[in-house]
Amino acid sequence: MRAEEVTGVILAGGLSTRMGSDKALLPVAGKPLIRHLAEGMLALGIRRIVVACGTEERGRDYGNRLQGLHQGLTGEIAFAADRYPGCGPLAGLHAALSAMPEGGYAFVMACDMPMVSAALFDRLRQAVTGTEALLDPTPQAVLTPNQPFHALYHASALGELEPRLERSDLRVMSLLGALRTIRVAISEEDEASAFINLNTPELYEQFARRSE
């Protein structure tokens, strides 16, 4: 599976309660984190990006922050508002997978994960096309143990997502237990750094200082 066949997804519709401000707009290396992530995805060879933005208003704000990034893409960056407001990351994943221009896999990152690992992305893709992935039906998630994001999700996961949202079952790990999955072990230091999470002011300040 080639990188350009994958849709990049950034989950940015959360309330950022612990941070106290929108995590997607935190400055990292002189630019908003959401732009930092989008540029990182483009550097992987991804050519389509969907931002799960929570609300249409927030999508317009993010669109202003990402102006110019659609140049060179096969299609413009899309913004997907939640169809199940207030239902957390599963609502964002549902919105993004529903907005994909076609079926196939999405490379999903949360907006507070500032590091994009090219090595891990490559191994996730290889797992789909390798002999361990010759399964029928198609694997719905390719991920590392106990890490729901920085992972691949197939559009067919919508079939499991939607009924869970309808009954307000919002447990991410429970969803993963229900999907057909391939688990990929973390093998390198730069892959482990992909799971740095900036969900508190203290963690953000530490990371921002290192990035200066």
Residue 22 annotated as binding site: no
Residue 13 annotated as binding site: yes
Residue 23 annotated as binding site: yes
Q: How deeply is 184 buried, as exposed, middle or buried, from its count of CB atoms within 10 A (0-12, 13-18, 19+)?
A: buried
Residue 38 annotated as binding site: no
Residue 61 annotated as binding site: no
Distance of alpha carbon 53 from alpha carbon 95, whole angstroms: 9
First-residue to last-residue Cα distance in the chain:
35
Residue 136 annotated as binding site: no
- And the tokens for 60? 């317009």
* Binding region for GTP: 11-13, 23, 82, 112
* Binding region: 11-13, 23, 82, 112
* Binding region for Mg(2+): 112
